[in-house]
């Protein structure tokens, strides 16, 4: 079994639609410190396409993703 990832902050944007959700994700990633682990929760497909692109363009990496009951969870680390 994989070790549990310690999450520093949870950002639930499941009630928002782009571009509001994308803006909030970008802003939160800018604000968290280097080494912080952020869990992003969303249900919007467009937001889910945005997260990998954002990670490619900035200093963060997706550690894990999963879908549970229609919600998609992305665990991201800023470096």
Whether 2 shows a pLDDT value over 90: the answer reads no
Which residue, 54, 53, 6, is CA-closest to 29? Answer: 54
Q: Is residue 2 part of a domain?
A: no
No. of helices (H) and no. of strands (E), the chain? 2, 4
Token pair belonging to 26: 């970008």
In tens, the pLDDT along 21-49 reads: 999 999 999 999 999 999 999 998 888 78
pLDDT in tens, 49-74: 899 999 988 889 999 999 999 999 99
For residues 39 and 66, is the Cβ–Cβ distance under 8 A?
Answer: no
CATH number at residue 26: 3.30.110.40
* Assigned domain for 51 exists: yes
User: Domain for residue 59, yes or no?
Assistant: yes
Total domain count, the chain: 1
**Domain for residue 55, yes or no?**
yes
Domain that holds residue 68: 9-78
């Amino acid at each position: 079994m994989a070790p549990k990832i310690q999450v520093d902050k949870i950002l639930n944007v499941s009630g928002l639609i782009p571009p509001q959700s994308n803006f909030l994700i970008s802003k939160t990633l800018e604000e968290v410190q280097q080494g912080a682990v952020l869990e992003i929760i969303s249900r919007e497909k467009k937001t889910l396409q945005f997260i990998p692109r954002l990670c490619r363009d900035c200093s963060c990496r997706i550690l894990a993703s999963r879908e549970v009951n229609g919600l998609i969870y992305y665990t991201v680390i800023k470096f």
